[in-house]
Structure 1
Amino acid sequence: MTRKMEFHGKVLAKGTALVMLGWLAATTAGRAQDANTSHSFSIPSQSVASALVRYSAVTGANIVYDGTLPATARSSAIQGQLPDRQALQQLLSGTGLGYTFGANDTITIVAPSAGAAAAGSNDETALQPIVLSGGDAPGSYDATESSVGTKTDTPLRDVPQSIQVVKRSVLEDQQATSLTEALENVSNVRESATSANRASSYMSRGFTSNSHAVDGVMLDGAANNPEYSTEPDMAGIERVEVLKGPASVLYGRGQPGGLINIVTRQPTEELTAEAKTQVGSYGFRRAEATISGPLDADGTLTGRIIGAAQHEGSFVNERPDSERQYIGGVLQWQPDTDTKVNLSVNHTHQDQPYDRGLVVSDDGKIHIPYDRFLGEDWSMVNSHKTQVALTAEHQAQDWLKFRGSVRYNQSLAHDRGIDFRGLEDDGRTLNRRYNLRTQDLTNLDLQFETVMTFDTGEIGHTVLAGVEHVRSSLDFWRERGNIAPIDIYDPVYGAPMTETSGLLDYTQDMISTSVYLQDQIDLSDQWKLLAGLRYDHFDQDTETRSGDPTPSMDDGALTWRAGIVYQPVDTLSFYTSYATSFMPQSGLGEGNTPLDPEKGWQIEAGVKADLIPDRLSATFSVFQITKNNVAVSVAGEDYSRLTGQQRSRGFEVDMTGEITSGWKVIGSLGYLDAEVTKDGDVSIIGNRLIGTPHWSGSLWTTYEFQEGKLEGLKLGTGITAIGKRYGDLENSFFVDGYYRLDASVSYKINENLDFSLIGRNLTDQRYIETTASRTDNYAGAPINVMAALKASF
């Protein structure tokens, strides 16, 4: 099978390269950029200073304005795809302010009394200027705007919930090859489990989520297990966003701890191309490439194609290698300034070992070496995932935008997985069984939304109204068989598969329909409100072709959120909010009874500040989350039970940006007190939730020399620290905390070629990275290195 996957990887890599070279040849003579560039704007009426900050973030222009402008000066709303100059004129209309253009994309905003003089003079010293750097500049770590918190382009400081963004510049500097590595940069967010190395689930603020969103749409509606998904490939990711706390008002079903949203890479207006090769410890090899640009003479049609192939060994002895191939493409059609249509398609294939990790002995310790494999070489998982998305938006009026999307994804996984059944009395003989399993999941999501921007008197509104319809279907087939046990201290491999029995065969269909409404209200320059309401109705039917029939489920949920933001100055926001969540459960209770949906709520308060205006920002937040109707699997059984209620409370600090020219930083610190507060088993009340440390944090920083002989040299270092964690709700065992020290060096060889080297776990710590039960514990890798060579054009 390995040879077959290598063959497919070579074919994919060669085919992708040929397509990219053909595209490059066809588009080298692409169009020149129009000097009067245009962008998509959604800036409601507000103070001129705040509006100019948002204009700068969208266009990348440097704005110079008089810091003593009257506080009563209020901008006009601008909405839609507009030329930059026209948008600025519209924004300033009625204020009496003027502007002049200077060098290096600098625009000077001129007070009324100075208007005539400025029109004929370049003297800006009398204005006591403040410079606003253009938004998310290439290579910066700091993000100023995100749509994940409101589904509108809103400054992060205006959203009354904590939102963290890990940009592609961070992923590149850290040579991140997995979503897990990207999320290590975010406070109180970390990998929860790997589901036997099939796919990762992630914990946010103490609660584990088995799914994520892509470009603002939740995936895999019928599934409540991560193994039905395939890991996203980093080649297609522009940035990773994390909305802390409940997100059901905008995204429907979900955990109250937060939402992970993956923003994909889009086409560019100019022709660009990149190719990167990575090699590392334990047989790691990876190649990826992308090309993007215009496809026609007038630039109304643009596109991007991405391809990647990866081979990865392991520090775990006897464990089989894994393979991954990814290919994706995006077409964007923009016939005029008011209309945009996107079509994206991507496919991921993985072939990887099924690995349950390490087992805990009766004394609550892991005594065997961390590089011990307790499976067999035939225990593998083969999975495919295809995603197709068609989105469109149209600016019907200055104040009215329509947008819609159709998204389809299909996941197919086959595995021969070996599960552990516990140790015998001798403490060394591990009983095992294996599953033959096929899981086929399809998901269709349709959304239609309107965005309305208007004023009622002196109060500004941005109203979002939407409907969503989701159809998901899961076909599941499984048989089981026992295989020979293994000695965990002296393993002998080669146990054959035996005959299987215990057929489980069913189809589970889920249909949900939702309506939602949200209003962002600018009461004044200092006070902003956010309120949202959503109703979801879902039907779940299970057709069982073996075993006992499963009852249908028909239910609904009303969720809401409200928040307020106070901004005494433009660079400081205080906020508080309340939000609720719900999550249908695909699992079953004893006797095949359906489980009630999980429901949760959160109260949060915090501060968002620009520590260095437009360069370095920080968020501090405190929160409490309560979740009811929590399902936990029963050891040795095929059903779950509801533990009752769990609570998480804590605080977080996140910081991103640039301290001085060339010195970038992204850091986080989190404290978490997560415990069981109600349960039928009173013995576990007060126990900590699985895998939740009290303290965790990370810091990553780089410095790039800006001049002299060392210009182009970039040095980086980082540390990740995680506290002690319990591995089950009984708190019968725990794994120790750990820290990991990383460092990197990179050098820009010339305009088009970069070399980088990163070392991880440089102190060679021996640690457990994730724990999920006594038979699901995964060790972190010892010291390892990775080198990359990237060419860009």
Structure 2
Amino acid sequence: MAMKADVLKLTRAASLAGAATAAVLCAGGAQAQEGGTTALEEIQVTGEGRKDTARGPVEGYVATRSSAGTKTDTPILETPRSVEVIGRQELEDRGVTTLPEAVRYSPGVTTNGSGFDPRFDQISIRGFAVNTYGDYKDGLRQTQGQFATFRSELFGLERIDIIKGPAAVLYGQTTPGGLIDRISKRPTEAPRLEIMTNMASTGRYESGVDVSGPLNAAGTVLGRMVALGRIGELDYDIKDERAMLAPSLTFAPNDQTKFTIYGLVQKDETDSNVAVMNTSSGDPFNVRASDPSYDHLKQTQYQAGYEFSHEFNDTFTFRQNARYNYLDMDARYLTANVSGGGYDPTRPNVYRRGSYAIEETVEATQIDNQLEAKFETGFVRHTMLFGVDHQWSKSKQGTGSLAANPDYELDVDDPNFGLDGPTPPITTRTDVGLKQLGLYAQDQIKIGDHWNIAAGIRHDWAKRTSDVTRYDGLPLTSSQSPVERKDKALTYNIGVLYAFDNGFSPYASYATSFLPAAVRASGGGGLLKPTEGEQFEVGLKYQPPGTTSLFTAAVYHLTEKNAVKYDPTTSAPLAIGEIETKGVELSARVDLSLGAKIIASYNYNDAEITKDSVEANIGNEPLVTPRHTASLWADYTFQNGVLEGFGLGAGVRYVGSTFSTNSNVTNIPGNLARKNDAYTLFDAGARYDFGKASPKLQGVTLAVNATNLADDEAAVCNSGRCYLSQGRTVIGTLRYRW
């Protein structure tokens, strides 16, 4: 009995640690030895891993489980939809510092649709922007304002999960392209310490500390503190400063109950207009349209929340996640988009600028309640999920501008910077509110060892309001009158996957989405009707037996209905647009035990405008939507010899040509419509583990990473504004882990 108890303890310990195997002693293999002693054989006991491994650390480059696509702990090979996971090792090997950098080696994901712009995480999935309504953190949406956005620091993240295609059944209001879930670091059972510091060639410096572990002898209380400080600049004299503090505390009195509370305080400063100049014919060149000395965007954000789970028995588990969010931002910049602005007709080289100011606060709450039930009916196993979620948000934005000022004129042949001046007074404030309630249900059905079926349905109720206040003494226009709109929608999905024993898993799925409009019609009209999405997808996942490598292929047909288009005569927004995308995604994540890792991807995305208020746009490509993208990252770490502990990585990214407007016009002199050329950028990295040279230096690593090695200033123009890609940036990172 004592031996059996020891075996059970070891198995439980291996499970709690997420270990793959545990060595235990078993009397069944006893062999007689001299002196009456007994030698016991060593056997392997497989641990199931913690129930939160679907949101926990990723070993290597290939995750095996994710809860993003199902909200349950599900193997990726049994999930009938496209899901991709990026773990910390990949982020560190590639020297990633921002979210767009993190996801740009993923198929179907394009970044920086307006060029390099550190203000926002510009990300599109399968041709649809997800930086506003596809921004999720720890399973809850990060509600964005009318201009301001909640920003995520990568040093505070454990992993990044990407869902491709509509995900409304589980998450409510989302874009057709999908969403990105940023998974935060949480307290660990094993003590750990990390100290990181890096320096970039642009003059940016940062340091971070991450400490975690048990806070009592019983290990029932765990704590973690992540902190980071950053000062300096990026390319084009763009300020990049941050101070972040993220504490979290977990109370786990037993194996059935877990309660985590967490917080975040983050203060950022960057610039609010990072566009570059266009010539009068529409060609961009490397001169900031604003002034780095005048320009700023200052923001402070707070987040506090909790994650609770309780397992009643082998059948029922309840989970509740909630968060409060608050953001305060103020910005100002110089621009030609004011009265009297633009190129001077009598002085063609003089660019006339005025000033613009924006203030905004965003307050939001989210809560998600889930009841999971696992049971069997004959040879069929069910994992059912019932949920109720609610979100509320309020954005208050004030704007003001001053006409073109001779003191702000810019001679493009001899640009001078370093200007200062007054901030425009706020003259108009717009308050936008949202309330949403959703009920959802999902059933994951497993028949035998091969068939996996997932089906879900959801009903949403949403209410949006918009109210404008003027402080300049002028009356409200018809387009500024208070408006309110209530919507409700039914969304659903179904997916079927068959997992062969040889590692192949073909699947097919169908999903819909629903997104209330944030745009109001001009001329006194109300808020536009919601955007709707629909996707058909057929794919194949393959994991060679005995490996952790993963190969995927997917073919999809995605449609967005009620897309916002603009009347060519009145410029009024209309919800009559429609966009279709048909595409192919190929992905390979190879993780070899010999130290080699490879990430390869290709995406063919044929996007077409099928309905538009401008008849000439029908049949055209949507703006800044490349048809071809591809990427490759290869990494190798020497396993022995004099180079043991030394690692090298190299990457290449290709983005196809795009149009700057939906008109696809490129040949009208003096028109800002143009075609953005295709471009290819190269990245590289090298690192060394000093612990391989001396045990006293165990845990110390040094890495040097370079992005855009060739310093190619690829231009991307979007609706008349042009941006350049981030130039060559070299970052050295010194890290200590214990």
TM-score bracket, normalised by the shorter chain, equals 0.7 to 0.9
Q: Distance between the aligned counterparts of 1:416 and 1:138, measured in 2?
A: 41
Select which of 60, 67, 73 maps to 1:140: 60
Which residue does 1:414 correspond to in 2? 330
Which residue does 1:789 correspond to in 2? 734
Which residue does 2:635 correspond to in 1? 702
Contact 1:146–1:155, Cα closer than 8 Å, also in 2: yes
Alignment deviations for residues 145-200 of structure 1 (CA, whole Å, 9 cap, x no partner): 00000000000111111111111110111111100110112112122348964322
Which residue does 1:97 correspond to in 2? none
Q: Distance between the aligned counterparts of 2:264 and 2:567, measured in 1?
A: 37
Which residue does 2:305 correspond to in 1? 389
Contact 2:108–2:125, Cα closer than 8 Å, also in 1: yes
Distance 1:492 1:416, change over 3 A: same
Residues 1:734 and 2:693 aligned together: no
Contact 2:565–2:577, Cα closer than 8 Å, also in 1: no
Select which of 360, 363, 372 maps to 1:442: 363
Alignment of structure 1 residues 310-325 onto 2, 5 Å: 310-316=230-236, 319-325=237-243
Amino acid corresponding to residue 748 of structure 1 in structure 2:
D
Amino acid corresponding to residue 757 of structure 1 in structure 2:
V
Residues 1:766 and 2:684 aligned together: no
**Most deviating of 143-152 and 609-618:** 609-618
Which residue does 1:540 correspond to in 2? 464
Alpha-carbon shift at residue 296 of structure 1 (Å): 0.8
Amino acid corresponding to residue 243 of structure 1 in structure 2:
I
Q: Distance between the aligned counterparts of 1:708 and 1:196, measured in 2?
A: 43
Alignment deviations for residues 26-52 of structure 1 (CA, whole Å, 9 cap, x no partner): xxxxxxxx85545889xxxxxxxxxxx
Alignment deviations for residues 631-680 of structure 1 (CA, whole Å, 9 cap, x no partner): 25789999634351011111111221313421112221111111211111
Select which of 250, 259, 264 maps to 1:341: 259
Alpha-carbon shift at residue 502 of structure 1 (Å): 7.9
**Most deviating of 427-436 and 394-403:** 427-436
Identity %: 27
Amino acid corresponding to residue 542 of structure 1 in structure 2:
S
Alpha-carbon shift at residue 207 of structure 1 (Å): 0.6
Residues 1:756 and 2:703 aligned together: yes
Aligned residues: 683
Q: Distance between the aligned counterparts of 1:176 and 1:417, measured in 2?
A: 28
Which residue does 2:175 correspond to in 1? 255
Select which of 602, 610, 613 maps to 1:680: 613
Which residue does 2:207 correspond to in 1? 287
Q: Distance between the aligned counterparts of 1:778 and 1:150, measured in 2?
A: 38
Contact 1:647–1:677, Cα closer than 8 Å, also in 2: yes
Alpha-carbon shift at residue 457 of structure 1 (Å): 1.4
Distance 1:760 1:219, change over 3 A: closer
Contact 1:481–1:498, Cα closer than 8 Å, also in 2: no
Which residue does 1:377 correspond to in 2? 293
Alpha-carbon shift at residue 405 of structure 1 (Å): 1.8
Amino acid corresponding to residue 589 of structure 2 in structure 1:
T
Residues 1:218 and 2:141 aligned together: yes
Which residue does 2:487 correspond to in 1? 555
Alpha-carbon shift at residue 508 of structure 1 (Å): 2.1
Which residue does 1:173 correspond to in 2? 93
Select which of 581, 604, 616 maps to 1:648: 581
Which residue does 1:724 correspond to in 2? 657
Alpha-carbon shift at residue 518 of structure 1 (Å): 0.3
Contact 1:309–1:325, Cα closer than 8 Å, also in 2: yes
**Most deviating of 701-710 and 423-432:** 423-432
Q: Distance between the aligned counterparts of 2:48 and 2:544, measured in 1?
A: 14
Amino acid corresponding to residue 386 of structure 2 in structure 1:
A
Unmatched runs of 5 consecutive residues or more in structure 2:
1-8, 30-37, 471-475, 665-672, 692-697
Contact 2:319–2:369, Cα closer than 8 Å, also in 1: yes
Alignment of structure 1 residues 94-243 onto 2, 5 Å: 101=23, 122=41, 139-191=59-111, 192-193=113-114, 197-209=118-130, 210-211=132-133, 212-220=135-143, 223=144, 225=146, 227-243=147-163
Amino acid corresponding to residue 323 of structure 2 in structure 1:
R
Distance 1:121 1:301, change over 3 A: closer
Which residue does 1:477 correspond to in 2? 398
Which residue does 1:49 correspond to in 2? none
Alpha-carbon shift at residue 416 of structure 1 (Å): 0.9
Amino acid corresponding to residue 633 of structure 2 in structure 1:
W
Which secondary structure state, in structure 2, belongs to the residue aligned with residue 228 of structure 1? Answer: coil
Contact 1:197–1:354, Cα closer than 8 Å, also in 2: no
Amino acid corresponding to residue 364 of structure 2 in structure 1:
N
Distance 1:446 1:578, change over 3 A: same
Q: Distance between the aligned counterparts of 1:262 and 1:374, measured in 2?
A: 32
Which residue does 1:60 correspond to in 2? 19
Q: Distance between the aligned counterparts of 2:569 and 2:207, measured in 1?
A: 42
Distance 1:385 1:215, change over 3 A: same
Q: Distance between the aligned counterparts of 1:695 and 1:543, measured in 2?
A: 42
Amino acid corresponding to residue 176 of structure 2 in structure 1:
P
Select which of 592, 595, 603 maps to 1:659: 592
Which secondary structure state, in structure 2, belongs to the residue aligned with residue 273 of structure 1? Answer: strand
Which residue does 1:80 correspond to in 2? none
Select which of 565, 573, 576 maps to 2:505: 573
Q: Distance between the aligned counterparts of 1:784 and 1:59, measured in 2?
A: 37
Which secondary structure state, in structure 2, belongs to the residue aligned with residue 335 of structure 1? Answer: coil
Alignment of structure 1 residues 577-592 onto 2, 5 Å: 577-592=509-524
Alpha-carbon shift at residue 428 of structure 1 (Å): 4.1
Q: Distance between the aligned counterparts of 2:569 and 2:277, measured in 1?
A: 16
Residues 1:299 and 2:232 aligned together: no
Alpha-carbon shift at residue 568 of structure 1 (Å): 2.4
Contact 2:459–2:488, Cα closer than 8 Å, also in 1: yes
Q: Distance between the aligned counterparts of 2:386 and 2:725, measured in 1?
A: 45
Contact 2:58–2:87, Cα closer than 8 Å, also in 1: no
Which secondary structure state, in structure 2, belongs to the residue aligned with residue 382 of structure 1? Answer: strand
Q: CA RMSD in A?
A: 3.0
Q: Distance between the aligned counterparts of 1:686 and 1:39, measured in 2?
A: 58
Q: Distance between the aligned counterparts of 2:325 and 2:589, measured in 1?
A: 33
Q: Distance between the aligned counterparts of 1:757 and 1:498, measured in 2?
A: 42
Distance 1:419 1:589, change over 3 A: farther
Contact 1:374–1:488, Cα closer than 8 Å, also in 2: no
Amino acid corresponding to residue 495 of structure 2 in structure 1:
G
**Most deviating of 575-584 and 636-645:** 636-645
Amino acid corresponding to residue 371 of structure 2 in structure 1:
T
Relative to the length of structure 1, the TM-score reads: 0.81
Q: Distance between the aligned counterparts of 2:193 and 2:129, measured in 1?
A: 37
Which secondary structure state, in structure 2, belongs to the residue aligned with residue 591 of structure 1? Answer: coil
Q: Distance between the aligned counterparts of 1:352 and 1:569, measured in 2?
A: 52
Amino acid corresponding to residue 608 of structure 1 in structure 2:
K
Amino acid corresponding to residue 261 of structure 2 in structure 1:
L
Q: Distance between the aligned counterparts of 1:271 and 1:322, measured in 2?
A: 32
Amino acid corresponding to residue 80 of structure 2 in structure 1:
P
Contact 2:116–2:726, Cα closer than 8 Å, also in 1: no
Q: Distance between the aligned counterparts of 1:269 and 1:778, measured in 2?
A: 46
Alpha-carbon shift at residue 355 of structure 1 (Å): 2.1
Q: Distance between the aligned counterparts of 2:258 and 2:49, measured in 1?
A: 27
Alignment deviations for residues 34-72 of structure 1 (CA, whole Å, 9 cap, x no partner): 85545889xxxxxxxxxxxxxxxx83324xxxxxxxxxx
Select which of 669, 684, 687 maps to 1:746: 687
Q: Distance between the aligned counterparts of 1:172 and 1:634, measured in 2?
A: 47
Which residue does 2:446 correspond to in 1? 522
Which residue does 2:244 correspond to in 1? 326
Contact 1:571–1:613, Cα closer than 8 Å, also in 2: no
Q: Distance between the aligned counterparts of 1:40 and 1:471, measured in 2?
A: 38
